[in-house]
Amino acid sequence: MLKKIFVKFVRWIGYDLGISPNQVTIGRLFCFVPGWFIWFYRNDLAAELGWPWQVFGVIAIIIVFTVVSFDIVDGALARETGQVSDQGKILDPIVDKLITYSTLALFWHSISKSGFFVLLALDLSSTFLRGSQVQGANQFGKRKAFAQNISKIFFAIAVISDLPQLNLAGNVLIWLAVILASISVGVRVLSPKTRGSFRIAIPQLVTLCNLGGGLGAIWLAAHGEIALGVLCTLVAMLFDLGDGAVARKLGVSSNFGKQFDTIADMVSFGMAPAALAVAANNWRPLAMLIGVGYFLATIIRLYDYGRSKDITPKGFFRGLPSPAGAWLVVASALFPWPWLSIFVMIAAAIMMCMFIVNWIHFNQIFSSMRYTELAACLGLGLVIAILLKNPAVFAAGPILVYIISPKWRKPALPK
């Protein structure tokens, strides 16, 4: 649905309005400049006009992220109208870098300086190599750009909402972008023979990051840092989504990789959520006992996943997937009632072993979310966050919608 709307929009720009891809690129830069200045001078504008400075902050965010979203329009327009040019190949990455790094510079006091400069160096190297090679941006470069853009949202919201804790999420995304940019540059400079060996290792490196997130969450749980532990678990989920996608994109697979992924999932989505929930309950014996039960349910779930792929409907899971169970548990650990996470662990363990119910794969639902689902996720998350006066519990909204999604997200019946 969204893809069709986007294609119609691109064709309208190119054929009906007669706008070229390079004009879109230059227009992005011209529209970006006032947004940048509105953010930079938001306090002066507020004093001059007597409005809250947050109003100008929101206006600037809307302008900048509208400009950023049009980054995909110029490329799509060039391909649609056959107007791919050498000038555009040079102009587009230059404008992208100007917009990206001048925006990140606005959050200089919040951003990781080392991450900023390492990412800038990698980006410049990638742009230089891209200009000397035939191929355009690779998938790692595109995902790097996505992580960069999402980090800006966290930095901006941290300023407007006066929640500096969100800067941590922004910096995690910056370092994720560093990892992706490093892989992107490595893919460009390695010889074809070395590149083949490197391709096999890439998904395992992503899985290692998943495992690192889970171990970090356990360490933070042991030190009473529940909120940071929850963030580590959510980051591990992002890497878990990535390893399989990367392996399929690169066309590589290995038995070691499959076993390594299972071990990482056991730690990140079994041990880590249980540790966070138990830590929220001050390591009480009953909580620890239920945590062990939840971990065993995760093992059963992962075992069934390995042996039932051939009988599971395509794009679906038998039973609640372990990352979803982990998301549900860690979200409940953020609530002001620690005992809630105990009941949620029990419920999640039961749903993970409900093999007669099919939940859609995360990768499938992300690309096919309906407007009603998106509105329900955002609305429910906002209501919970406002009622509890804690923005972190917004994470409970999307997972609750996903939990009940089998009511309307069902596998297609065989013909």
**Domain-located, residue 126:** no
The first and second tokens of residue 169, run together, are: 């999420």
259: containing domain: 218-409
Q: Are 392 and 334 in contact (CB under 8 A)?
A: yes
Could you tell me which residues are beta bridge partners of residue 358? 318
Which has the closest alpha carbon to 386: 402, 397, 401?
Answer: 397
> The CATH number of the domain where 342 resides is what?
1.20.120
In a domain, 312, yes or no: yes
Is there a contact between 195 and 140 (Cβ–Cβ < 8 Å)?
A: no
Q: What angle do CA 229, 352, 202 make, to 5 degrees?
A: 60
Instruction: Judge whether 281 lies within some domain.
Output: yes
Residue 327 falls within a domain, yes or no? yes
Residue 283 lies in a domain: yes
In a domain, 18, yes or no: no
pLDDT digits (tens, 9 = 90+) for 270-281: 999 999 999 999
The two three-digit tokens of residue 128, written as one number: 């230089």
Domain assignment present for 1: no
**How do beta strands 316-318 and 358-360 pair?**
antiparallel
Dihedral angle over CA of 243, 246, 251, 253, nearest 10: -10
Banded model confidence at residue 330, pLDDT cuts 50, 70, 90:
very high
Instruction: Report the number of distinct structural domains present in the chain.
Output: 1
| pLDDT tens digits, 354-391 | 988 888 887 777 667 778 888 888 888 888 888 888 88
The pTM for the full model equals 0.61
Mean pLDDT of all residues belonging to the chain: 83
pLDDT digits (tens, 9 = 90+) for 82-132: 777 766 667 777 888 888 888 998 999 899 888 888 888 888 777 666 544
pLDDT at 140: 76
Identify whether 123 is part of a domain: no
Give the E-state strand segments of 233-375 in sequence order: 316-318, 358-360
Q: Tokens 């969100």 identify what position?
A: 166
